[in-house]
Amino acid sequence: MAKAPPKGFPSVEFEARTAKAQTAMDKAGLSGLLLMSEAEVRYFTGFHTLFWQSPTRPWFLFVPAKGKPIAIIPEIGAKLMRQTWIDDIRTWNAPNPSDDGISLLTELLSPLANQSATIGMLKGHETGLRMPLGDFERLIANLPGLRTEDATGLVRSLRMVKSPREIEKLSYICAIGSSTFGRVPEFAYAGKPLDEVFRSFRQAALDAGADDVPYLVGGADQGGYHDVISPPSAKPLQAGDILMLDTGATWDGYFCDFDRNFAITRADDLSRRAYDVLWRATEAGIAAAQPGTTCRELFHTMQSVIAEMDSSGGDVGRLGHGLGMQLTEWPSHAAFDDTIIQENMVLTLEPSLSYGDGRIMVHEENIVVRSAGAELLTTRAAQELPVI
Amino acid sequence: MAKAPPKGFPSVEFEARTAKAQTAMDKAGLSGLLLMSEAEVRYFTGFHTLFWQSPTRPWFLFVPAKGKPIAIIPEIGAKLMRQTWIDDIRTWNAPNPSDDGISLLTELLSPLANQSATIGMLKGHETGLRMPLGDFERLIANLPGLRTEDATGLVRSLRMVKSPREIEKLSYICAIGSSTFGRVPEFAYAGKPLDEVFRSFRQAALDAGADDVPYLVGGADQGGYHDVISPPSAKPLQAGDILMLDTGATWDGYFCDFDRNFAITRADDLSRRAYDVLWRATEAGIAAAQPGTTCRELFHTMQSVIAEMDSSGGDVGRLGHGLGMQLTEWPSHAAFDDTIIQENMVLTLEPSLSYGDGRIMVHEENIVVRSAGAELLTTRAAQELPVI
C-alpha cells in the first residue's frame, strides 16, 4: 500500500480556501459567513478533534469579507485552535447555558448589524444548526439590523472540489479500505456471527492504518439482504447468505465510503444476476463521470442499466454522492441534482436495486474526477459475485 | 467480565417512556413533541443505526399527546423502523431537497395548527436543530397557528434518569472500558508513537467486546500533557511522559466515558501530586453523589479538593456530566447547574486541574446513583499515579 501522506495541511491551503470564499462572498454581497459545524470549521481552520462527539458546547467560526477567520469557541479548545493558522481566538468558559458564546457573537456582529449587512449561514440541504435553536433566536433578536442568507450553495461550491492534498488523503483512506475488504475472506465464513464479522472488519481496518471506522453497516441473509442501515445481529453466517459490508473509515479526518458483496459458500442465481447488473451500472457510471456531465445525467446512465432488473428506482433516493470530511456530501447522483461534475471532485458511485422477495443489493466505488475522466480510488470490485 | 446483557429493549420500555413523556406533556400544556435527533428518536422508538453519520437526510418523530409516536422518515429507514414498536411510519423518497419531509410534517401538524396548539421542540442547552434551518423556517411558515415551545427540560428530565435495562448496558460498556484500560501497560511504552497507542487501544476495546470507539482523545508529554481534545501525534512516548487516554466506547448504543493517567517509566513529583489531588477530589465526588444533592454541590465538593493545587477552576467548564446514549448528556457538575441528583442517574465525575507550566490533568470515573449513594461502574483508578 502507498505510504501515508503528511497529516494536516500547510497554512497556504487555508489561505487559498478563505480567499476563494471571500471572492464568492463579494459576488454574493455577503459581509461574512457564520459557520458552526465540524466540517466547515475544519475546512477554514484545520481545527481537528473528536470533541465534536460531545453535543454540550457550540463552536463558531466567522469568515469576514477580508482577513483571517475569527474563532469564537469554548476555552477548552483554545490550545488546539492556537496551533492552527487562526490568530483571533475569542473564548468563553463553556458550558454556560445562560451565555454559550452569544455575547461574544453579538459583540462581533453588532457593527455589521448597525450597517444592515447580510451574512451567510448554512440553511440548505444536508446542513443543520449546531447550536441551540433558542440561542440562535436570541442572537438574531440581539442584532435587529442583521440579515442572514442561505450560503449553502457558496460553501458547497468550495467544498465539492477537492485540493490535491485532500485527494491524497482520500486516496490513502480508500486504499486502506480496499486492503481491509481484501481480508474479508479471512474472517467471514459460515458459522461466524455477523456482529463478530463487523468487529473483525474494524480490527482489520485499524491494522491497515485507518484512524477510525465511524461507519460500518451491512447485512447478510439467505439469497440476499433486506436492509442496508441496520446494526449487525448476532446471527451466524450461513451457506447461501449474501453478505454486504459498507464502511466509512477515516484517515486524518477524511472518509472512504464503499461496500463489497460476498456470497457465503455458494451464490444463488438471482443474486449473481443482481450483482452483474450493478457491476455494469457502476462501469457505466465510471465511464460517464466526466467533467461537464451533470449528476442527473450520471444518475440516468446508471439507472438505465439498473432498469434491466429493477425499474422502481429503489428506495435509497440516489445513486451516489460527494465524499470528503463527511461520509456523505453534496452533490447527489439523483434526478433532482443538476450539479455539473468538475475536475477534482471526489464522488461515490452507488447503484442499488431491489430484487426477489424484498432483497436489496448495493454496489459502491469511490472515484476522483480528472480532466480525462474518472479515476478509481478503490480497488475495483470483482466482476462476478465472489463466493467465499 | 460480566456476560453481555440482551441487546435492544422490549416494547414495554418504550411504552413506559412514552407514557411518562405524555404525562409531562399534559402538565406542560403541550399537544406533542417534534423530535429529530438521534438520541431522542432512539429513546422513544429503539431505532438504532449508524446511518445518522450521513447528514444528508433528516429524520422526524412526533410524540402525540395520546397514542404511539409517529415516524416521518426517509424510505431507506422504513424496514428498520418497522422492526420497532412503532406502527405509524410515513416515508418519502429522500433526499429530496425541494421537500425533505416538509409536506408530510405539514400534513401531520396542520390539525394542531388549526387549533392554535403548542408543541414542544428541543431548543435548549446541549441540543441542535438536525434539519436544514431553511426547511424549518418554511415548515413554521406553513403552520401559522402552531406555537413551538422549548421542551428541553421535559426531555432532559426523562432521559437523565436511566432504566434498569439502560444501566445494565452502561455497566457493561464501562466494564469493557475498564478491561481495556487494564491492558494499556501492554501496548504503551517508551518508543511507541502516540497514534499507534491510540490504534492499539481501539483494537483492545474491540477485543474486549466494544461495538465501536467513537471517542478517543488524550495526550502525552514530559511532566504532563497540555491539551485534552487533540488527535494523537506520531511522536513516540518517552520516559518521563505523562500519558492520558480518555475514551467513549459504545455497546448497543450506550457510552462509557472515562480516562486514565499513566507515567511512562518514571513520574515527576508535580504530576504525582496533581494525580493525588484529583484522586481525592474524585473520592470526595463519589461520597457526595447522593440522591438529593445538587450538581452544584457536587461541583463545589470536588472543587474544594482541587483548590489545594489549582484555584482557577480550570478551563473545562465543569467537573463531570450525565452519560448514556450520548458521550456527554445533562446534567453538568458545574456552578450553574442546580439539578437535583436522583436515583438511577448515570454520571461521570471528572475533576481536572492546571499545574506546572501549562499542564493539565483530568481524572474521570463513571457512576450510577443508587438510593444509598454512588456505585462505581468503572474499576476505580489506582490511588497513586501508575508508572508503566
Q: Which of B221, B232, B234 is nearest to B271 (CA)?
A: B221
Does residue B1 have a pLDDT over 80? Answer: no
Whichever domain contains B94, its CATH number is 3.40.350.10
Contacts of A38 in chain B (CB under 8 A): none
Q: Check CB contact of B287 with chain A, cutoff 8 Å.
A: no
Residue B314: the pLDDT is: 58
Task: Average the pLDDT over B171-187 and give the result.
Answer: 98
**Cβ–Cβ of A206/B203 closer than 8 Å?**
yes
Does residue B265 have a pLDDT over 80? Answer: yes
Whichever domain contains B192, its CATH number is 3.90.230.10
- In the numeric block, the cell 463489497 is attached to A260
Tell me whether residue B388 is in a domain: no
A90 and A53 inside one domain: yes
Q: Cα–Cα distance between A69 and B59 in angstroms, integer? A: 32
**Cβ–Cβ of A129/B134 closer than 8 Å?**
no
Task: Average the pLDDT over B30-46 and give the result.
Answer: 98
Tell me whether residue B384 is in a domain: no
Backbone angles phi, psi at A287, to 5 degrees: -65, -35
Longest dimension (CA), chain B: 71
**Cβ–Cβ of B317/A95 closer than 8 Å?**
yes
Contacts of B95 in chain A (CB under 8 A): 125-126, 317-318, 332, 334, 336
How close, in Å, is residue B373 to chain A by CA atoms?
Answer: 26
Residue B2: the pLDDT is: 76
* Residue B149: closest C-alpha in chain A: A134
Residue A315: the pLDDT is: 58
Contacts of B327 in chain A (CB under 8 A): 53-54
Q: Cα–Cα distance between A21 and A16 in angstroms, integer? A: 9
Does residue A2 have a pLDDT over 80? Answer: no
Q: Check CB contact of A316 with chain B, cutoff 8 Å.
A: yes
How close, in Å, is residue B171 to chain A by CA atoms?
Answer: 20
Confidence of residue B248 (pLDDT cuts 50, 70, 90): very high
Is residue A95 within 8 Å of A77, Cβ to Cβ? no
Torsion sign, CA atoms A326, A327, A333, A335: negative
Grid cell of B192 as nine digits: 511507541
Task: Average the pLDDT over A54-83 and give the result.
Answer: 96
How close, in Å, is residue B114 to chain A by CA atoms?
Answer: 24
Q: How many percent of chain A have pLDDT more than 90? A: 95
Residues 101..120 of A with a Cβ closer than 8 Å to B: which?
none
Contacts of B76 in chain A (CB under 8 A): 228-229, 315-317
Residue, of B332 and B2, whose pLDDT is higher: B332
Residue A246 half-sphere exposure toward CB, CA atoms < 13 A = 29
Q: Where are the alpha helices (DSSP H) in A53-208?
A: 78-82, 102-114, 133-142, 152-160, 164-182, 184-187, 194-207
Under 8 Å CB-to-CB from B209, ≥6 apart: which residues?
B1, B4, B172, B176, B251
Average pLDDT, chain A: 96
B173 and B127 inside one domain: no
Task: Average the pLDDT over B73-91 and give the result.
Answer: 96
Residues 149..178 of B with a Cβ closer than 8 Å to A: which?
150, 152
Task: Average the pLDDT over B241-269 and give the result.
Answer: 97
B42 and B66 inside one domain: yes
- CB neighbour class for B294 (10 Å; exposed up to 12, middle 13-18, buried from 19): middle
Tell me whether residue B284 is in a domain: yes
**Cβ–Cβ of A318/B48 closer than 8 Å?**
no
Tell me whether residue B5 is in a domain: no
Average pLDDT, chain B: 96
Q: Cα–Cα distance between B320 and B316 in angstroms, integer? A: 10
B101 and B181 inside one domain: no
Confidence of residue B16 (pLDDT cuts 50, 70, 90): very high
How close, in Å, is residue A128 to chain B by CA atoms?
Answer: 5
User: ipTM of this predicted complex?
Assistant: 0.95
A247 and A176 inside one domain: yes
Residue A314: the pLDDT is: 58
**Cβ–Cβ of B78/A315 closer than 8 Å?**
yes
Mutation for B interface: A38, A59, A79, A364, most B CBs within 10 A: A79
Residue B317: the pLDDT is: 74
Question: Beta-strand (E) ranges in chain B?
Answer: 32-35, 60-64, 70-74, 89-92, 118-121, 147-150, 212-222, 241-251, 254-255, 258-263, 321-322, 329-332, 346-349, 352-355, 359-362, 365-370, 373-376
Mutation for A interface: B80, B126, B139, most A CBs within 10 A: B126
Q: Check CB contact of B326 with chain A, cutoff 8 Å.
A: yes
Q: Cα–Cα distance between A212 and B202 in angstroms, integer? A: 8
B171 and B278 inside one domain: yes
Domain boundary among the residues A112, A131, A159 is at A159
A182 and A99 inside one domain: no
How close, in Å, is residue A255 to chain B by CA atoms?
Answer: 11
Is residue A282 within 8 Å of A349, Cβ to Cβ? yes
Grid cell of A377 as nine digits: 480510488
Residue A59: the pLDDT is: 98
Does residue B313 have a pLDDT over 70? Answer: no
A113 and A255 inside one domain: no
**Cβ–Cβ of B123/A131 closer than 8 Å?**
no
**Cβ–Cβ of B327/A7 closer than 8 Å?**
no
Residue B11 half-sphere exposure toward CB, CA atoms < 13 A = 8
Q: Check CB contact of A57 with chain B, cutoff 8 Å.
A: yes
B328 and B195 inside one domain: yes
Q: Check CB contact of B219 with chain A, cutoff 8 Å.
A: no
Residue A277: the pLDDT is: 98
How close, in Å, is residue B328 to chain A by CA atoms?
Answer: 5
Q: Check CB contact of A41 with chain B, cutoff 8 Å.
A: no
Task: Average the pLDDT over B163-189 and give the result.
Answer: 98
A249 and A356 inside one domain: yes
Domain count, chain A: 2
**Cβ–Cβ of B55/A231 closer than 8 Å?**
no
Give the C-alpha distances (Å, rounded to integers) separating B91 from A217, A317, B70, B97. Answer: 21, 12, 11, 15
**Cβ–Cβ of A124/B134 closer than 8 Å?**
yes
- CB neighbour class for B251 (10 Å; exposed up to 12, middle 13-18, buried from 19): buried
Tens digit of each residue's pLDDT (9 = 90 or more) over B52-64: 989 999 999 999 9
Tell me whether residue A6 is in a domain: no
Task: Average the pLDDT over A100-104 and give the result.
Answer: 98
Query: Which residue segment(s) compose the domain that A60 sits in?
Result: 11-159
Tell me whether residue A180 is in a domain: yes
Residues 329..368 of A with a Cβ closer than 8 Å to B: which?
332, 334, 336
A173 and A261 inside one domain: yes
Does residue A230 have a pLDDT over 90? Answer: no
Domain boundary among the residues B158, B186, B220 is at B158
Domain boundary among the residues B133, B158, B183 is at B158
**Cβ–Cβ of A54/B328 closer than 8 Å?**
yes
**Cβ–Cβ of B7/A234 closer than 8 Å?**
yes
Q: Which of A193, A211, A192 is nearest to A202 (CA)?
A: A211
Longest dimension (CA), chain A: 71
* Residue A131: closest C-alpha in chain B: B128
Contacts of B127 in chain A (CB under 8 A): 55, 132-133
Residue A227: the pLDDT is: 87
Q: Check CB contact of A240 with chain B, cutoff 8 Å.
A: no
A250 and A325 inside one domain: yes
Tell me whether residue A381 is in a domain: no
Tell me whether residue A59 is in a domain: yes
**Cβ–Cβ of A202/B212 closer than 8 Å?**
yes
Tens digit of each residue's pLDDT (9 = 90 or more) over A334-366: 999 999 999 999 999 999 999 999 999 999 999
Contacts of B259 in chain A (CB under 8 A): none
